[in-house]
């Protein structure tokens, strides 16, 4: 659609937008492609890039939160294995509660797209 590195990067970024917002992103890039080269095209490209970044950021944040939660669960499990699963009842309850909350976090964040 649009030439140049910025236009190609914006086109590649469209796939990270929610489905209902991809059409508007394509329309913005098409408008930028029609504009004359110069300040007007750059303005359209900047607006399209900002729209794409702003729309894709929640998706990236959600998947980052899922990955961090999973890594933290693995780290808690590793520390439990390292200590032979010994601990006071309060420690065991706090570990189990934290793992349950992180697992719930992963499930709720993953189901948000549906």
**pLDDT, greater one: 2 or 34:** 34
Give residue-wise pLDDT tens across range 59-95: 889 899 999 999 999 998 888 888 787 888 888 888 8
The CA-atom distances, in angstroms, between 63 and each of 13, 84, 102, 109 are: 16, 32, 14, 8
Q: Which helix (H) or strand (E) holds 51?
A: helix 39-82
Helix 39-82 vs helix 89-111: crossing angle, to nearest 10? 150
| H or E segment to which residue 7 belongs | helix 4-13
pLDDT digits (tens, 9 = 90+) for 3-52: 678 788 888 888 888 888 888 888 888 888 888 888 888 888 888 889 98
Q: What is the token pair recorded at 57?
A: 């950021």
pTM of this structure: 0.64
Q: Is pLDDT of 113 > 70?
A: no
């Amino acid at each position: 659609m649009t030439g140049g590195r910025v236009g190609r990067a914006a086109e590649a970024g469209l796939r990270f937008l929610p489905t209902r917002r991809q059409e508007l992103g394509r329309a913005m890039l098409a408008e930028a492609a029609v504009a004359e080269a110069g300040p007007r095209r750059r303005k359209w490209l900047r607006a399209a890039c900002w729209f794409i970044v702003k729309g894709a950021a929640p998706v990236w944040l959600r998947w980052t939160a899922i990955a961090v939660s999973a890594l933290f669960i693995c780290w808690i499990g590793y520390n439990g294995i390292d200590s032979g699963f010994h601990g006071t009842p309060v420690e065991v309850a706090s570990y189990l509660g934290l793992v349950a909350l992180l697992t719930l976090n992963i499930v709720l964040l993953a189901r948000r797209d549906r």
